[in-house]
């Protein structure tokens, strides 16, 4: 589903793709490789829907690497990121705890992670019961 | 010989106890941009040292370097503890220099500010490992269900670093303390206004409780 525009063409968005990534695709990868794979997809003007979630420290590394790329990839402004748990009634902390419990085995399959380039995804609005993906017009 | 060994042993033991007693507790201020981290850190530093830690502004990412204030002795109701205050740049997942243009910053300065902001975020993340306790400052008039907040708190939980959530700006009409409490029910949340000083007493009491959780 992803397009082949490459990583340096994020300036004027003419379209975008939504790419689904099953967790099995990244399960055996190291943290470095996971983050690189995710960023490559996002830099290709794709909104990534990842089955499961990253480890807590991988999320911060993703943010750190994103910041480093803003300085080096033309027109890249960063990402929008949201992790959605399985049950909308759960508190953020409960989901987080479950995420941590699953962190070592990797994944938390009941979660979904949405990551998109900030040039396409303006905002991911969320409250416990609703998720809205607002795109740049 | 035995006397000398015993003497050295007691000397080392008392020396380490003395050092531990005077050791500063590293207290980090984390959160999204413009939540009021520096405003709160300034108020604490002003209360106990007479000096501020950094400048505040309505423009996001005003703090773009990690700022310190050492030897801050917080005294409250007969209790006293020595802190090293570490004020960190706000963490975000995107930085667009054009956002700064709205605040009448010229284009070159906006680009410079954006570049510094990205580096500040990287620095903030690197410092996560070095904290003894962390105060996560959130704007109580904003939606707390923001991935940056969840990521920061998730990281601190994974590192077993005690967290106190401060719902700042409770003087604003849109402030919703309950929403923040319900988003993070496992953590103590204190509603304050760093600008007006409202509820700072509750905050100081919570800080002493936080340190005990280490």
Selecting from A57, A97, A124 the residue whose C-beta is nearest the C-beta of B155 gives A57
Instruction: Give strand pairing partners of A79.
Output: A117
The answer to whether B71 and B27 have CB atoms below 8 angstroms apart is no
What's the pLDDT at A84?
A: 87
Sheet holding B79-87, edge to edge: B67-76, B79-87, B25-30, B133-139, B163-168, B189-191
Distances (CA, A) of B41 to A54, A100, B98: 32, 30, 28
pTM for the full model?
0.85
Residue tagged 């997809």 (tokens): A41
Kindly state the DSSP code that residue A78 receives in the 8-state scheme.
B
Distance of CA A39 to the CA centre of its chain: 8
Which span out of A109-113, A129-133, B117-121 was modeled with the highest average pLDDT? B117-121
Whether residue B129 lies within 8 A of chain A, CB to CB, comes out as no
pLDDT, mean over chain B: 91
Task: Note the pLDDT of residue B14.
Answer: 52
The partner residue sitting opposite A56, judged by closest CB among B126, B158, B186, is B158
Work out the number of other CB atoms within 10 angstroms of the CB of residue B107. Answer: 11
> Closest approach of chain A CAs to the CA of B174, in angstroms?
16
Q: Which of B95, B154, B185 sits opposite A59 (nearest CB)?
A: B154
Answer yes or no: do A70 and B114 touch at CB < 8 A: yes
Q: Write down the pLDDT at residue B66.
A: 95
Question: A133: which strand partners?
Answer: A124
Eight-state DSSP code of residue B120: H
B170 near A CB under 8 A: no
Kind and range of the H or E run holding B54: none
**A3 CA to chain B: closest CA distance, Å?**
22
In Å, how far are A130, B110, B147 from A88, measured between CA atoms? 8, 39, 15
Q: A49-93, pLDDT tens digit by residue?
A: 999 999 999 999 999 999 999 988 988 999 999 998 754 444 555
Distance CA B124, CA B65 (A): 8
Residue B25 token pair: 């507790």
Q: Residue A92's pLDDT is what?
A: 58
pLDDT band at A130 (very low <50, low <70, confident <90, very high): confident
Rounded to whole angstroms, the Cα distance separating B138 from A64 reads: 20
All residues of chain B having their beta carbon less than 8 Å from the beta carbon of residue A56 are 151, 154-155, 157-158
Interface test with B, best of A35, A50, A58, A63 (most B CBs within 10 A): A63
Q: B12 is written with which tokens? A: 């080392």
The per-residue pLDDT for A6 is 47
Q: Is A83 on the interface with B (CB under 8 A)?
A: yes
Can you read off the two tokens belonging to residue B50?
């007479």
What's the Cα-to-Cα distance from A25 to each of A108, A116, B152, rounded to whole Å? 14, 18, 26
Map out the domains of chain B with their CATH numbers. 22-212 (3.40.50.300)
Q: Which residues of B touch A61 (CB under 8 A)?
A: 125
**ipTM of predicted complex:** 0.86
pLDDT per residue as tens digits for the range B52-101: 999 998 889 989 999 999 999 999 999 999 999 999 999 999 999 999 99
Give tens-digit pLDDT for B130-189. 999 999 999 999 999 999 999 999 999 999 999 999 999 999 999 999 999 999 999 999
Q: Tokens for B43?
A: 């108020």
């Amino acid at each position: 589903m992803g397009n082949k525009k490459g990583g340096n063409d994020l300036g004027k968005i003419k379209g975008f793709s939504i790419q689904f990534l099953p967790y099995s695709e990244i399960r055996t990868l190291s943290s470095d490789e996971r983050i690189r794979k995710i960023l490559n997809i996002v830099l290709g003007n794709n909104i990534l829907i990842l089955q499961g979630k990253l480890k807590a420290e991988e999320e911060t590394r993703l943010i750190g690497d994103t910041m480093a790329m803003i300085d080096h990839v033309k027109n890249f402004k960063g990402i929008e990121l949201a992790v959605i748990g399985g049950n909308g009634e759960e508190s953020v902390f409960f989901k987080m705890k479950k995420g941590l419990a699953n962190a070592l085995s990797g994944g938390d399959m009941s979660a979904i992670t949405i990551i998109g380039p900030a040039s396409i995804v303006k905002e991911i609005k969320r409250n416990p019961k609703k998720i809205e993906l607002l795109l740049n017009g | 010989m035995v006397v000398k060994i015993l003497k050295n042993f007691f000397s080392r033991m008392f020396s380490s106890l003395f050092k531990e007693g005077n050791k500063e507790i590293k207290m980090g201020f984390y959160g999204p941009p413009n939540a009021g981290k520096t405003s709160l850190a300034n108020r604490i530093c002003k209360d106990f040292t007479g000096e501020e830690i950094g400048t505040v502004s309505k423009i996001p990412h005003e703090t773009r370097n990690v700022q310190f204030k050492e030897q801050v002795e917080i005294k409250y109701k007969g209790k006293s503890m020595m802190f090293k205050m570490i004020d960190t740049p706000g963490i975000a997942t995107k930085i667009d220099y054009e956002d700064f243009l709205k605040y009448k910053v010229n284009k070159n300065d906006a680009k410079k500010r954006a570049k510094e902001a990205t580096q500040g975020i990287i620095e903030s993340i690197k410092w996560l490992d070095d904290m003894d306790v962390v105060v996560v400052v959130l704007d109580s008039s904003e939606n707390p269900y923001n991935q940056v907040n969840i990521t920061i708190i998730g990281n601190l939980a994974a590192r077993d670093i005690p967290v106190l959530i401060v719902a700042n700006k409770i003087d604003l009409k849109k402030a919703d303390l309950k929403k923040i409490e319900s988003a993070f029910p496992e953590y103590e949340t204190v509603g304050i206004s760093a600008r007006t000083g409202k509820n700072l007493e509750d905050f100081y009491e919570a800080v002493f409780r936080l340190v005990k959780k280490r």
